[in-house]
Chain A
Amino acid sequence: MTIDIKRIYCAVITIVLLLVLSGCNDSQEFEAGDTNRGVTLTYWPAPNPQEIELADSLVRYWNDRNPHIQVRMQPIPVGQSTEEVLLAAIAAGTTPDVCSNIWPGGLHDYIDAGGLIPLDRFDDFFTVLDERMPRDILDAFRSAEGHYYQVPWKTNPVMMLYNKDILRIAGYTDPPATYSEYIEIGKAIRDIDRSGSRHGLWMGQRDIRPIWWQRLFDFYPFYIAASGGRTLFQDGEIDIVNEYAEKVLDFFQQVYKEQLFPRTFTHGRDLFLQGNVATNFAGSWQIATIRRYAPDFALGIAPIPVPDGYEGPVYTYGDYKNISIFSTTRYPEEAWEFVKFLIEARHDLLLLEITDQIPVRDDLLRNELFAEYFERNPEIIHFAEQAPYTRGVDEIFDLQEIFDAISQEYEASAIYNRKEPLQALRDAERRIQLIKAWNR
């Protein structure tokens, strides 16, 4: 049997053309301002259960009252990190209209790519934000070229959560406030007789793998605390070879040398929640987890320990997450209306109620609207009081690679005691300067 090749070729070409033409269908929706026909915005909240629940409530409320500006909520697609997902979306042109999980450390890349719109283009931007926070706090989120691409939404001040029961077994009631107190209590816990028990007891636990963002929950908040609020860069130059960073590294080196932290990484097990670890450095998001999975947990909250002799307020890293509007939006005015809705005071209350995370507003502890929530949740007051004493990350290119360099030296010095802290800091600074030279 011979095959009529010409007919087969014609059939294939026809099919391909049909497929191509069908893909060219313009499914564009309505134009801005055409309120008779309405618009649909896409909103990406963080992909954790509490924030999805919050977003769902807010979007339903909004959609009921705004039939001409509908919002479609979609949790941020799964990825190694939100920053990687957003960068990929910017590259592909598939960004949402609004996202409420913007980490300030990633903003530089998004702005560089032209992925965001400056929010101060809206006439009422400063009016709205001045009602929420003082201008000096807002200015901390202004980009180097003078515009505002993010609305500060919530913060998770990293504090020391501790297990009162473990401290009590070790003979202590007050949490440690200084490095020497922390090590003293840690040694007492280490020396508790556990011969009859399957699991050890530890003062704390950190991921020992050199992953860059892990330093946001140990080295970096401790550095901010020890230095009275400094970040890694001063006047655009890296500045970590100083006494504060040296004290922090020395502290963690002592902690591992004295075997107060295990040199183990446990997948899927939270040793703090299980009651095997006395302290954990985390934000208020952990409160909801503890309530759900360990309701009898005897929880205490205290500021990050500081070097002996430190005076003044204790600062920490505030894991800010902000709201931005992407440049692919076809409805910027409508998107801004939705953003203003998200940051209304009654919705900040909902943020507290559902996620236990702290809205960035300066009247949190004065406003009657929040009084009843704090009465029911006194532990969150600690985080609210800490919020004014937080620092974010520097708005610098290559921040992840810089933290990676710090992570490598932290590992070598603190965890494995292969380098003196000062040498580790010098090596970190050298590599960071190389990174900046390579990438310019």
Chain B
Amino acid sequence: MSIFQNRIRQTRDRGAYFFIAPYAVFFMLFVAYPLIFSIILIFHRWNIVTPMEWIGLRNLERLVQDALFFKAIGNTLIFLSIHIPLQVAVALFFALLLNSKIQFRGFFRSVYFFPVIVSGVVVTILWQQLYSYDEGLLNTMLNAAGLKSVPWLVDPSIAMPSIALMATWKNVGLYIILFLVGLQTIPRQLYEAADMDGASNWNKFYHVTLPMLNPTVVLIFILSTIGGFSLFIEPYVMTGGGPMNSTLSAMLYIYNQAFTFNHMGYAAALGFVFALIIFGVVIVQRKFIERESYS
């Protein structure tokens, strides 16, 4: 008799299965079934309205030749390489400030969180106006200061960093809260011991705060990575993937293939490969940034 069968028999209250049944049904209908169907779709051509047509590996063959998909992956990685370090650094900076005894601390904690709860589309439209090359507020201010206009969204080399900056502004509030929680769980005795040893503020930050925040940093890196890989609203609303596909994210490209051009099978293939890439990146990330934290 297996351990599992023993446990079943030992469970007195079989009502537990009744209570997990709704989620199990939800999971089967909205997660497992779509996942399995997506994998089946990879080997078919389907535009929703006509019957699915088996085409074997043709979608994957097309993917390998599709330079635009790899460009989209590259764009997404560029976005992440700017957005994640910026977000972590900015969030930590403000969390340290908001963790200290300052006036109106509660007010500032709330204000920094506001952008997180505002609709992504609204924020994107606002920033699109700010970034407008000819009449945007940012360039108007630069011109008033005697500086040249910056082609925020119309220069292929600047457009994606501009989007990364905007995304950081939008989401940093959430990570400030996570860092605040992490900071407040650091035992005070560690700082007291460091004070007794004559440690400077920088030494305390580097040798106490950062190591103790490692689990929080790992969490934020992973959340930012997963969130960053789903970059869609900003390029969709702001730039349409331009200028010259420099802001075309992988999610936007998959969306276009699925819902603009109705290539469901090809979009499923793109999504599957993209999911593998995300999985690989997260594994590598954990290996490099996760350290044993001091208990």
- A residues neighboring B (CB under 8 Å): 3, 5, 8-9, 12, 80, 84, 87-88, 90-91, 109-110, 112-113, 115, 199-200, 208-212, 262-267, 398, 400-401, 404, 408, 411-412, 415-416, 418, 434, 438-439
Contact = CB atoms under 8 A, between A and B. Distances in A.
Interface stretch (B221-229, B237-245, B277-285): B237-245
A8 B15 contact: yes
Contacts of B99: none
A404 B151 CA distance: 24
5 contacts: A5-B18, A80-B260, A199-B135, A209-B240, A262-B133
Given A87-B49, A263-B154, A267-B129, A411 B260 contact: no
Nearest to B49: A113
A329 B250 CA distance: 40
Chain B, interface size category, equals 35 or more
Contacts of A210: 240-242, 245
Contacts of B47: 87, 109, 113
Given A5-B14, A8-B18, 10 more contacts: A80-B260, A87-B48, A200-B135, A208-B154, A209-B240, A262-B134, A263-B151, A398-B261, A404-B256, A439-B263
B185 interface: no
B244 A109 contact: no
B60 to A, nearest CB: 12
Nearest to B256: A404
B134 A109 contact: no
A264 B132 contact: yes
Instruction: Output the residue of B49, B132, B154 with the most chain A CB within 10 A.
Output: B49
Given A209-B240, A263-B154, A415-B243, A3 B15 contact: yes
Interface of B: 13-15, 18, 45, 47-50, 58, 62, 65, 125, 128-129, 132-136, 151, 154, 156, 239-245, 256, 259-263, 266
Contacts of A266: 129, 132
Contacts of B58: 438
Contacts of B240: 209-211
A362 B252 CA distance: 44
A265 B48 CA distance: 33
Given A5-B15, A264-B133, A404-B260, A91 B49 contact: yes
B281 to A, nearest CB: 27
A88 B47 CA distance: 10
Nearest to A214: B240
Nearest to B125: A267
Instruction: Output the residue of B45, B128, B262 with the most chain A CB within 10 A.
Output: B262
B239 to A, nearest CB: 6
Contacts of A9: 18
A91 B262 CA distance: 12
A415 B129 CA distance: 19
A210 B235 CA distance: 11
A87 B262 contact: yes
- 7 closest A-B pairs by beta carbon, nearest first, are A209-B240, A113-B49, A91-B48, A262-B134, A401-B261, A263-B154, A264-B134
B134 A411 contact: no
A396 to B, nearest CB: 13
B261 A88 contact: no
A9 B15 CA distance: 10
B131 to A, nearest CB: 9
Contacts of B18: 5, 8-9, 12
A400 B260 contact: yes
A411 B243 contact: yes
B15 A212 contact: no
B242 A3 contact: no
A3 B132 contact: no
Nearest to B154: A263
